[in-house]
Amino acid sequence: MAAMQDHALVKICAELASCLSISLASARRKVELTASREEVRDLEGRKAIAERLLEEARSRPTEGENTSGSQLDRLLEAVASEENFMVED
């Protein structure tokens, strides 16, 4: 049987997912992993962790060098030695 979820926790996780551009399941997993690292087991503690992660995500810059979009762009750039690589014949 699936565990009952607190509506407020799910709402915070949904906001976190939206802010980080990840799925709700990934956001919930991120909160659960942080809670387990900090040895927090109660619902109120997990809500506090989710709110903290949300505030950290909101405080990250939205423009400039350190955004997730610019990081993805850097990762997708072709390296000079791989520019002419062909996947298919």
What tens digit of pLDDT does each residue of 26-80 get?
A: 999 999 999 999 999 999 999 999 999 999 988 876 666 666 667 777 777 767 6
Cα 55 to Cα 16: distance, rounded to the nearest angstrom: 9
Q: What pLDDT is attached to residue 27?
A: 94
Asked if 54 and 16 touch (Cβ cutoff 8 Å), the reply is yes
Q: Where are the domains of the chain?
A: 7-77
